[in-house]
Structure 1
Amino acid sequence: MTADQHQPPGAAPGQVEIVGVRGIGEVRPGDDIAALLKDAGLRDGDILVVTSKIVSKAEGRIREAPDRAKAIEDETDRVVARRGDTVISQTRHGFVMAAAGVDASNTDPGTVLLLPEDPDASARRIRAGLAHRVGVIVSDTFGRPWRQGLTDVAIGAAGVTALADFRGAADTHGNPLSATVTALVDEVASAAELVKGKLDGVPVAIVRGLSHLVTEDDGPGVRPLVRPADEDMFRFGSRDVVFARRTIRAFGDRPVDPEAVRRAVAAGIAAPAPHHTTPWRFVLVESAATRMRLVDAMREAWIADLRGDGFTEESIAKRVRRGDVLRDAPYLVVPCLVMEGSHTYRDDRRNAAEREMFVVATGAGVENFLVQLAVEGLGSAWVSSTMFCRPVVREVLDLPQEWDPMGCVAIGHAAAPPRDRAPRDPRDFYVTR
């Protein structure tokens, strides 16, 4: 494939003109935006950039909201980060933006504007109502995590090329381009904002000179610009990352990246521990044969114990079935406690407390490990039953006697999205003195 094949259709423009459309007036629910633009002076090949606020108003996406926070919560699919009253949310459209796009500006007091239900569909409807062959972009304002200031981007599009993919081409020096994908509709939306402004009452702009980006059909809209979750290196904000950890009991066939597990171990050993010790050891069970030997040996030990306790075979089968998550997982890790550096005292009370300190530190390391697995996009389930058959685990994994297995972590890619957490009120779990 040649470099020319990566270019958008047609020749690159020598000049671009951006014209603000004035005189539209206040948009009300039920208004036809295309009809409002019949005298805008559109020409074939133009790109029309429409601020999402007037699209929301025309579509009745106005909500009585004395409490804006509740509207944000209702429009949020996932909280990415919080700081004070600022919430960065992912909407059901897949957009990651401040306040889930809920806007209290340019609307009547006591109301807020929500994003259009389907901005791509909104762009298609506007385009269908226009007499000329144009592209339509619905824009909104986004912040950037690593830069100050806001800019407009496309949240909906129809009839315009969204991306220019230059991967596989070479630059003027012959260097191969491996990651260059240009968000054309975002660039056009940002340029249009220069004439629309935030306070000038100009909600629509015409961008002229980019006819090579205008397509015959409506196209896929902005969906190609929304980064899939498994490609998002910054999916979780620091304040909410702990809540990303979920217990996953059904895994897909996709293999686990061993380096991701090793990075999770690095997070595990960053946990606090008594006496400046390092009480954590992680056994990475990467061999499928070893995993099966371990799971089978633990199962036999569990069954023997349960029979000795007088459980019925039906009850035993039910209890043992809980360990199936270990059998089905493509990767297992056995966290272990070591007491190196612990102190020995004259009485059993203090010696018991010393061990408890090390157990707590190991738990902190395991929690760090589980959270980092979630950051890496991996699901996990911590199964504590190794502690009922420690000698068996040591024998199968050929571990030193002083290594104390503290559970087994099943790891893999979740076969389905996890269920919502059961609601818990933190006030039920603390007292104030």
Structure 2
Amino acid sequence: MSTAPGFRAWALPGIPEVRPGDDLAKLITLAATAEGLPGLADGDVLIVTSKIVSKAEDRIVQAADREAAIDAESVRLVARRGPLRIVENRLGLVMAAAGVDASNTPSGTVLLLPEDPDASARRIRTGVRDALGVDVGVIVTDTSGRPWRKGLTDIAIGAAGLRVLDDLRGGTDTHGNPLVATVVATADELAAAGDLVKGKAGGLPVAVVRGLGHVTGGDEEEGARELVRPAVDDMFRLGASEAVREAMTLRRTVREFADEPVDPQAVRRAVAAAVTAPAPHHTTPWRFVLLESEESRVRLLDAMRDAWIADLRADGRSEESIAKRVRRGDVLRRAPYLAVPCLVTEGSHAYPDARRSTAEREMFVVAAGAAVQNFLVTLASERLGSAWVSSTMFCRDVVREVLELPEGWDPMGAVAIGRPAAEPGARPARDAGAFIAVR
């Protein structure tokens, strides 16, 4: 007869208030071997609340220093809402207040997370094995909120002696469908299971889970850090308002591109963002010409180069000077993809004097600039670099003729688009106050 899958979880009573320097493995061993308890066996998993680890390792600071402690534990601000900060801490965990906690600690103090939770888990595992001769897994846990879900749950922040991830990719489900993306966060599931019997306020900081032997025996070097998603793979790295501000700074002028094709749909998504820009008189003064064929790009750039050379010769410049200036346009030739934003002033008001006519056109030009900014920022969010080059504005008739554009379409530069060949350098910070006048 087959046995239905199952496991057992129980909390360990009898663990006293932990103080700096206490031997956690010894305290856990004494609690686990108390009369009336099942004891520990090979393959059991100990679920240990990080708070007792922090206390034993003297990760205690005064409550008055809490904000400074959060600063010290943080490496990146993810989101801020009033006094609440969600940050990435030095362990790579994204948590409220960097995991600095005022619960289950004496009044006037707060606890920092362990310095190295994986190392803490290894020490507990080794101590239990030395004392009892049993091989157990150990998970150090902390409580965390989650995106998209209400409520808190325990997660693994340290681990030893078990597989923290169960990679099912390459297998099949019960219907024979291939599993291509299923990687189970086993350590987090165990942390939550242990929390069901430990509770948050019952003074039971350690639990035992038995019957899940398939998760134990992990690589000794593997720890809970394996659960932390690398920044490059994190699609939700920032809070909402923070993401908007960060997008502005991601928009950088890129002049060297990787030899990779550009997804036309990514450019179209950028156009969709562009046309949400403000515009005068309820008009839609933006058009985007997307040059997706090599022939159209070369024909346009050759015609623009010839027009530029003719202008420079008419200015009396030397051939050497002309060649140097024309090379500035090479960024457009090196780009895998080009777009030409155009201004259309249909719907503009007519005025009999130059002052108001000029102001009317300037309103439309500003609207075009806002659309191009939306376009460039959205390209950056698609991990595409761009360079907005003004050259088409100096030969609009040529551009219209080569691209067969209507007479009322005014090219407003050209945008070179592609994957950046390298990460842009750091942008020097600017003091916003230098650009502000208050009256």
Same fold flag (TM > 0.5): yes
The unaligned stretches of length 5 or more in structure 2 are 33-39
Equivalent residue for 1:383, pick from 389, 393, 407: 389
Q: Which SS does the other structure have where 1:81 is aligned? A: strand
Distance 2:141 2:125 in 1: 15
Cα distance change, pair 398–118 in 1 and its aligned pair in 2 (3 A): farther
Query: Residues 18 and 55 of structure 2 are in contact (CA less than 8 Å); yes or no, is this contact kept in structure 1?
Result: no
Specify the alignment match of 1:39 in structure 2. 30
Matches within 5 A, 1:189-228: 189-218=191-220, 220-228=222-230
Please give the root-mean-square deviation of Cα atoms over the aligned residues, in Å: 3.7
Over 3 Å counting, the alpha-carbon distance change for 1:273 and 1:164 in structure 2 is: same
Shift in alpha-carbon separation, 1:207–1:418, aligned structure 2, 3 A: farther
Q: Contact 1:377/1:413 (CA < 8 Å) preserved in 2?
A: yes
TM-score, scaled to structure 1 = 0.80
Structure 2 residue 338 is the aligned partner of structure 1 residue 332: yes
Q: Which amino acid aligns with 1:246?
A: R
Contact 1:333–1:408 (8 Å) recurs in 2: yes
Deviation at 1:217, TM superposition (A): 2.4
Structure 2 residue identity aligned to 1:401? E
- 1:353 lines up with 2:345 in the alignment: no
For 1:277, the equivalent position in structure 2 comes to 283
| Alpha-carbon distance between aligned partners in 1 of 2:66 and 2:351, rounded to the nearest angstrom | 58
Q: Secondary structure, in 3 states, of the residue corresponding to 1:185? A: helix
- Contact 1:247-1:382 at 8 Å conserved across structures: no
Residues 375/419 of structure 1: CA separation in 2 closer, same or farther (3 Å cut): same
1: CA distance between counterparts of 2:331 and 2:111?
45
Deviation at 1:430, TM superposition (A): 3.4
SS in 2 for 1:39: helix
- Find the residue that maps to 1:45 and give its secondary structure: coil
**Is 1:239 paired with 2:244?**
no
After TM superposition, list the pairs within 5 Å mapping 1:178-189 onto structure 2.
178-189=180-191
Match of 2:11 among 15, 19, 23: 19
8 Å CA contact retained: 1:241, 1:375: no
1:359–1:213 Cα change, 3 Å = same
Q: Is the 8 A contact 1:306 1:316 kept in 2?
A: no
State the AA in 1 paired with 2:145.
Answer: G
Q: CA offsets, 1:335-394, max 9 Å, x none?
A: 222112222121111111111111111222222223323333434343344434444544
CA deviations on 1:182-204 (whole Å, 9 max, x unpaired) are 22111111111223333334333
Matches within 5 A, 1:99-248: 99-106=97-104, 113-131=111-129, 132-167=134-169, 169-172=171-174, 177-218=179-220, 220-229=222-231, 231-242=233-244, 243-244=246-247, 245-247=250-252
- CA distance in structure 1 between the aligned counterparts of 2:309 and 2:110, rounded to whole angstroms: 60
Provide the secondary structure at the position in 1 that maps to 2:378: helix
- Whether 1:52 aligns to 2:44 is no
In the aligned structure 1, how far is the partner of 2:62 from the partner of 2:424?
32
Aligned residue pair count: 421
**Distance across 2 between alignment mates of 1:126 and 1:371:** 49
Determine what percentage of the aligned residue pairs are the same residue.
Answer: 64
Is 2:87 aligned against 1:85? no
CA contact (8 A) 1:21 1:205 kept: no
Letter in 2 for 1:202: L
Name the counterpart of 1:98.
96
Partners of 2:299 and 2:13 in 1: CA distance: 72
Task: Indicate the SS of the match to 1:26.
Answer: coil
Relative to structure 2, which stretch is displaced further, 319-328 or 149-158? 319-328
Residues 1:343 and 2:335 are matched in the alignment: no
Q: Distance in 2 between matches of 1:254 and 1:12?
A: 52
Q: 1:312 to 1:367 in 2, by over 3 A?
A: same
Q: What's the CA shift string for 1:187-237, capped at 9, x where partnerless?
A: 111111223333334333222222221015225334443344454443443
Please give the alpha-carbon distance, in whole angstroms, between the structure 1 residues aligned to 2:295 and 2:59.
57
Please say if residues 9 and 194 of structure 2, whose CA atoms lie closer than 8 Å, have aligned partners that are also in contact.
no
Max radius of gyration: which structure? 2
